Structure 1
Amino acid sequence: MTDLFTSAGLEEGAPRPLADKLRPKTLDEVVGQDHLIAPDGPIGRMLSAGRLTSLIFWGPPGTGKTTMARLLADQTDLYFEQISAVFSGVADLRKCFEAAAGRRKTGKGTLLFVDEIHRFNRSQQDGFLPYVEDGTIILVGATTENPSFELNAALLSRLQVLTLNRLDDEAMGELLSRAERLEEKRLPVTDEARQMLHSMADGDGRYLLNLTDILLSLEFEETLDAAGLLKILQKRAPVYDKDREGHYNLISALHKSLRGSDTDAALYWMARMLAGGEDPMYILRRLVRFAAEDIGLADPNALVQALAAKDAYEFLGSPEGDLNLAQAVIYLGTAPKSNAAYMAFKKAGKAAKSTGSLNPPMHILNAPTKMMKDLGYGKGYAYDHDTAEGFSGQNYFPDGLAREAFYGPKERGFEREIKKRLEYWNKLRSE
């Protein structure tokens, strides 16, 4: 197989990054993606059947997307062509298709690997369709973004999406061991610092090997602990795109952790978002929404706490105001949960849309003029405060619409008390 070093035209003996030296020569050497390349995985089954289809590799950076595409081309005897959507346009695509068509006439197929395929606009993506359909190319696209959001439905329907996992500790440990064997030198770090290397890489194998390359190229008088390692290597910022899928994944994780009353997990996801540079006001807007949607009247103070955190943050700013976010998250996470108000609003909205323009009953309409009084406006209205219980039990639904119970409070928190009140009023109403 022609590797990146050779294809780049570099002479033998030229300096090579460690990540390139350790680039797998066979699919068996790829780490962390056994769910795809194992005999019972989708790629394993394709190779066993001798039939490769067009694919999308979706996964974080440094998980082997480019390497696996090269190895697939090599193992299926296809010509490997690589382009990047960042640097390529329509003219480049046309050249690739024409070259692939020419090779096809000689009996040689082409695997066209498109890095960052989501960067192509919709019309450019449509340009792939006829060449994928007639077999001129086997298309393998790579993306870090959710294909269902970023790729045309027409193109996506012709591709199989394979998800690559971020590398876990076992996979990164294997990469470090391979690096030490290749360089015949052990990393000068303690076990704690070695684990910190994993954390700094954040599932990115290429980044891990780049850090390792730096460490192996230096000489140290003593073994580096975690603090010493941080002095040598700058800590990597968490992978977090505020305007892309990671943004929505983490806010979803925060929301669902709060709903599940897992306060510690909620604090973790909030901290992840802040560390990634998220706007705290975006988080606060979600907390205010959560207070009404998932807690509601089970704890009426939840909304007060969320809004107080918003006001405090606007007053203090970061980093002091970040503590107010943490306090709100803790309060919301530990509060009793109820979506009764949320569901009641949805049910009432559905009923309102389906019943058209029914008028309120006449007895609850005001009668500011004599004519309106003569027409019966307000006639028979019972003033609730004049009753013994402060409750008249009159009908307030439109005439012709049966009474509906939209709000059903839970047996949790303050809603227990609300439920007792509603049951009492229902009893009076039935009497």
Structure 2
Amino acid sequence: MDFAYDARTEELREKLLAFMDEHVHPAETVAEEQRALLASPWDTPPVVEELKAEAKRQGLWNLFLPDAEYGAGLTNLQYAPLAEITGRSPQLAPTALNCAAPDTGNMELLAQFGDEAQKKQWLEPLLSGEIRSAFAMTEPEVASSDATNIETRIRRDGDDYVVDGRKWFISGAMNPDCRIFIVMGKTDPDGPDLRRQQSMILVPRDTPGVEVRRAMRVYGYEDHYHGGHAEVIFDGVRVPAANIVGEEGGGFAIAQARLGPGRIHHCMRLIGMAERAVELMCRRAVSRTAFGKTLAQQGVMQNWIADARVTIEQLRLLVLKTAWLMDTVGNRGAHTEIQAIKIATPRAVVDIIDKAVQAHGAGGVSQDTPLAELWAAARTLKLADGPDEVHQRSLARRELKKYL
């Protein structure tokens, strides 16, 4: 395994680092100021559109898609260090590069499983950044970490399907530019194979019966830049049968294919979030005095900074190994490593950000630094794409099989 960055990765890293310094970080304050003046908090601040235009101009667009027909054609190993850089400003940078969830997973899904008509209608405008999208799987009434529990019904009726169900924490749904939902539900709820009961279907937002009921707060944050996390009701929603993605009964397999890359993308960005936290902690440590010494001279602060650096280097190596395996043996061959980074990265990054919050005192939990929002985002990723305990259970079973 050679993790040295190749020439293309180095070139893109340099461009992206400059883009972050010259455009993204200065826009963080501007975006908040502009949002306060918008008619709706869910509208996009003008500076975000300016960032998107500049990213397109510089060729920093759709970097996440390995398929050169639709994206930059980068391998996971090439994309990993770029995603890490965007994690330093997780609210703005991924959106600016059209590399933000849930659109990334939805574009991958449509590119892999969509038919030509679906790609033309929905994938192309997503790739160009003209619209946004949402992925509607999670439900409040069932343990959605087990996708076989999903209760939303997708019922065939002549040339249409009718969708009925209640979803929540549907990322992106509050954004007025969100035009399409990819909905997971059961087309064969009584089928003998629990993993063939589900299907995916495309539901345009403006279809009668679709109600975006409310935004779900995450530790008090509404996550405006990602379009929020909404409760959505589908009440007798009728769409053409042609809107089914892939084949009827293929929803579970499609969901698993979608979540693999999503998990590694989250972990890449988490490392960038940890780097931002360490930078802020170090700047604070050298500038703040307590009990006659700077914080940087205090032993406890030195321990926090050293431990954070060791942890970040360990996580980065594990994520790079996982990316390399995904490129060489596929997502199934990298299953153990994907689960390992999904368990290890959010857990460790939450602790690093927490130490940075502590170093800033009351300021660390306030709106005057990005740390509180970074902590909330990292903590949420211990749940998103499957809670830690589900991955631990699966990984442990795989380990124990060797001894049975």
TM-score, with structure 2 as normaliser: 0.29
TM-score, with structure 1 as normaliser: 0.27
Q: Which has the higher strand share?
A: 2
Larger Rg: 1
Higher RCO structure, 1 or 2 (CA under 8 Å, sep 6+): 2
